[in-house]
Amino acid sequence: MASILILNGPNLNLLGTRQPEVYGTTTLADIEAMCRAHAAARGLEIGFLQSNHEGALIDAIHAARGCHDGIILNAGAYTHSSVALMDAISAVALPAIELHLSNIHARESFRHVSHIARVAVGVICGFGAQGYLLAIDAMRGHLGGAG
């Protein structure tokens, strides 16, 4: 059974209350439950982790090698600043999908630059919590399962 690690970066623990006009009212716990049900229905296992600390995210990416077949990463603001996360994804050689709740291209110009996209198989943004389910399906398809 294929396994996907879903990683969430800084401030995503505040979903549901943080800028609901941008990020919606769905909590991270709601998203995790949605992802677990969606993945199970598609014969996938998932790991789910959130950290506000760049090093913890890097450690999780390193630990994914040999345990997971792909990574879905909502790196939050680290998307635009972390060469270290980009390097970690390259180092483990697992397919990764960059994910954002909001459409980063319709926001401030600094959010238009992504270090993660350079090493990702694709980017999903702007679909809110539904983007996580789209990313699961996209990763399943990329790994050779039906989309």
Measured CA to CA, the distance from residue 38 to residue 33 in angstroms comes to 9
Tokens found for residue 50: 């959130």
Measured CA to CA, the distance from residue 52 to residue 108 in angstroms comes to 21
Measured CA to CA, the distance from residue 23 to residue 126 in angstroms comes to 9
Q: Is 53 a catalytic residue?
A: no
The single residue of 38, 68, 100, 115 carrying the catalytic annotation is 100
Q: Is 100 a catalytic residue?
A: yes
Q: Which amino acid is at 8?
A: N
Measured CA to CA, the distance from residue 114 to residue 92 in angstroms comes to 19
The single residue of 23, 68, 78, 132 carrying the catalytic annotation is 23
Tokens found for residue 46: 């998932």
Among 13, 18, 11, which residue's Cα sits nearest to residue 32? Answer: 13
The CB density around residue 65, as the number of other CB atoms within 10 Å, is 12
The set of catalytic residues is 23, 100
